[in-house]
Amino acid sequence: MKTNLYFSKPGVACAAGCDEQSLWQSCVSGSQDGIKTVAAVSGKEFFAGKIDDSLLKSVPSAKYDMRITRILNLALEQIKPVIEKAKAKYGAKRIGIFIGSCDNGSEFTIAGHKAYFETGAFPEGYELDVQGADYPAAFVKKECALEGPAFVFSTACSSGASAVCKAREALEADIIDAAVVGGVDVASDTVLLGFDSLEAVSDEKTNPFSKNRKGITLGEGAALFVLSKDKELVSDSGVSVILCGTGESADASHMTAPLEDGSGARRAIEAALSDAGFSAEEIDYINLHGTGTHLNDAMESRAVDAVFGGTKNHVWASSTKPLMGHTLGASGALELAVCYEALVHSAEKKLPVQVWDGVRDDEIPALNFVSGDTVLENEIKTAMSNSFGFGGCNISLIIKKV
């Protein structure tokens, strides 16, 4: 019998809200106030989900006080009381750190390289490890005085979900007693210009699953939970949320593109259902990966249709990327936080709305999208979060209110 693993309430920071209540209100109202026009170093402008600079405070204790650290710390501060409770109960060595992230320190690296090309030398104090992949976990470990294993996972857009999967494995193997788990990423110039070079960025706000979709809107953010076997340690909202199932698959068919028929994503969804011991009919809501690119939306629609088939009219779905942008390595964790909030607020009988132009693409299966007028007949009890990364790294997570 599987051990129940309980989530604390999330610490969140993104364009849709920098606390859990603000995030939830943006999701149910469909607010896109956090999607703004930004200019990259090249001068080209993009729509992007940006956190208000005034909210991102300096972190004196950080080795590198940079944007990703400030975003991560904004989320971390919200769950520190739970981390301290875990330390008091288990000790610092029994708490692990599992974080998904793809990019950090870009602002220093770009400035450093610019100086090098102009003067032949890097700026004084510049260090290459400013972009070390381990830094987000190392920061949390130092900031919270933790001594357990610390890992960063970089599986592209599924990184935050990968962190959840690996934290679960460590907890079930009794390597640790609690985990700080989640993801963080920044909408850096490297990211903006890199995705633009792939012709994946929309020149309008992203419009997932529409016939008129043009691509992604990038974003930045962080979401962190404490995951533990101890219900009393983390459950303080009157509602407990557990991790029921995880499903992973790998297409490995293309450097960036997913399998067009959705078979890779389908395997991850089916694996999560099997792991949870659920039928398709038991899932109440799906937070779709829903990037707004032609290939992703088409393959995800096919995968969801193939698994849920005739039940899809009873499974509500939406993509929340139009509200916060595609936060890359953080998206798996942030969208799981949205699912958590949907379960905690289920008595409201509302769900995150699908923000799009409503123009169906007749070449892909229709899904049961949540609209602003949707009123649920019953409270939801289960939610699935889909995360599909470059190269076909697919992860589905299922959580349940108990």
157 annotated active-site: yes
- Structural domains in the chain, CATH included, are 6-234 (3.40.47.10), 241-401 (3.40.47.10)
Active site residue 244: no
User: Among residues 14, 18, 144, 157, which one is catalytic?
Assistant: 157
| pLDDT value at residue 229 | 95
Q: What is the model's pLDDT at position 398?
A: 98
Handedness of CA 402, 376, 14, 218 (dihedral sign): positive
Catalytic residue of the set 289, 339, 345, 393: 289
How far lies 401's CA from each of 22, 229, 311, 377, 381, in Å?
21, 15, 21, 17, 5
Compute the radius of gyration of the chain from its Cα atoms.
Answer: 20
Is 314 an active-site residue? no
Residues 6+ apart with CB under 8 A from 57: 70, 73, 74
Please provide residue 134's backbone torsions phi and psi, each rounded to the nearest 5 degrees: -80, -5
Options 144, 326, 345, 393, the catalytic residue = 326
SS3 readout for the chain: CCCCCEECCCEEEECCECCHHHHHHHHHHCCCCCEEEEECCCCCEEEEECCCHHHCCCCCCCCCCCHHHHHHHHHHHHHHHHHHHHHHHHCHHHEEEEEECCCCCHHHHHHHHHHHHHHCCCCCCCCHHHHCCCHHHHHHHHHCCCCCCEEEECCHHHHHHHHHHHHHHHHHCCCCCEEEEEEEECCCHHHHHHHHHCCCECCCCCCCCECCCCCECEECEEEEEEEECCHHHHCCCCCCEEEEEEEEEECCCCCCCCCCCCHHHHHHHHHHHHHHCCCHHHCCEEECCCCCCHHHHHHHHHHHHHHHHHHHHHCEEECCHHHHCECHHHHHHHHHHHHHHHHHCHHHCCCCCCCCCCCECCCCCCCCECCCCCCCCCCCCEEEEEEEECCCEEEEEEEEEC
- The pTM for the full model equals 0.95
Q: What whole-number distance in Å separates Cα of residue 138 and Cα of residue 118?
A: 32
Give the pLDDT confidence score for residue 42 in this predicted structure.
87
Ranges of residues in the chain whose predicted pLDDT is under 70 = 1, 237, 310
Residues 257/383, Cβ–Cβ less than 8 Å: no
pLDDT reported for residue 237: 67
Q: Are 233 and 63 in contact (CB under 8 A)?
A: no
